[in-house]
Structure 1
Amino acid sequence: MILLLSGSTDIARKVLIERLLKEKPSWRHIAMEELQELPFFKQAAPDEDGKLSASLAMTCAQEMQDEGFHILLTHANAKPFLEALREEAEDQPFVSVYLGSEDGGAGYDKTIDTLNRSASDMYVQLTKIIGT
C-alpha cells in the first residue's frame, strides 16, 4: 500500500509519521518535500503539475515495495500532485489522506479531522484507513 498524508501542520504530520513507523515496522517514509530539494529539481524546469515529483516519489516507493514495505508519502500540500500520483500509482493500492478540516480535503480519498481530535485519535483513524 502507498499512503499519502498531506495538510495540517508539520508537527501533526511528524507525530503521525513517527508513531506509524515505530509501531509498524513494515512501513517506510518518503518526504516529497525532501525529494524536491534534490539538485536535479533545482536545475529542471518548474514542475507545477507535479508529474516529475510524482514519478520520482513513486519510483522510490516501488523500489521499497519490491523489498516488502508499505510506503508513507508526505507533503504539506499535495493537492497539485494528487492526479499525477494517482496516475503513477497505476494498479498499486494508493490512498490519499488530508489532515485538517473536511472543507480542505476535497479531492483526497479520506480526511482526518486534526482540529477536533487528539494525536491518539488521529492515529487510530489512520490505522483504520490502512486496515491494521
Structure 2
Amino acid sequence: MFILLAGSTEMARALIVDEFLGNHSDWRHLALEDIQEPETDAMEEDDDIFGFQMSFMTMVACECAKEETEAGHHVIITCPDSDMLPGIYAEIDEPIVSVFLGDSSDAEGFDHVIDSASQSMVEISKTLDQIIQAQPA
C-alpha cells in the first residue's frame, strides 16, 4: 500500500510521519523533500528548464519505494511540491491513497483531506490509521 501525504509544511509532514511510523513498524517513509533542491537563485532554475533532473530523481525515488513494497512493507510518501505528483503517479502502477494536509479548497484531486490546522500530529496519525483501515485488502 502507498499513501501520498502532501500539503502543510515540510516540518509538519515530518513530525506526522515520525508519529505514524512509531506505531507502524511495517511502514517505510519516502521523503521526496530530500530530492528537492533548495531554491537559491533564478540562474540555477535555468539549468533544469524542462524539469528533467526532478523527473529523474522522482523516478529513482519511486523505484526505491516499489522495492520496499516488494519486500513486504507499506510506504508513506511525503511530497513537498504539487509539480511532482504526475511523476509519482506515472512511476507507481499500484493504487495510491492520497491525503492532503490543509484546507479542502486546496486539495483538488486528493482522496482525503485532513485539516492539519485544527488537529495535533497524534490526531492526524490516528486519522491516517482510519484511512488505512477503510482501504480494501
Q: In 1, are the aligned partners of 2:19 and 2:122 still within 8 Å (CA)? A: no
Q: CA deviation at 1:45?
A: 6.0
Aligned pairs (5 A) from 1:15-94: 15-37=15-37, 46-47=50-51, 51-77=55-81, 79-90=82-93, 92-94=94-96
Q: In 2, are the aligned partners of 1:47 and 1:53 still within 8 Å (CA)? A: no
| Gaps in structure 1 of 5+ consecutive residues | 38-42
Deviations 1:46-99 (A, max 9, x none): 527x5434322210101111111101111222x212222222111x13112111
Partner Cα separation in structure 2 for residue 84 and residue 26 of structure 1: 25
Q: What is the identity, as a one-letter code, of the residue corresponding to 1:95?
A: V
TM (norm. structure 1) is 0.81
1:107–1:54 Cα change, 3 Å? farther
Q: CA deviation at 1:23?
A: 0.4
- CA radius of gyration, larger in: 2
Partner Cα separation in structure 1 for residue 36 and residue 116 of structure 2: 26
Partner Cα separation in structure 1 for residue 23 and residue 12 of structure 2: 17
1:116 corresponds, among 95, 114, 118, to 118
TM (norm. structure 2) is 0.78
Deviations 1:24-55 (A, max 9, x none): 00001111121345xxxxx866527x543432
User: What do you get for the CA RMSD once the two structures are aligned?
Assistant: 2.4
Q: In 1, are the aligned partners of 2:19 and 2:121 still within 8 Å (CA)? A: no
What number of residue pairs does the alignment pair up?
Answer: 125
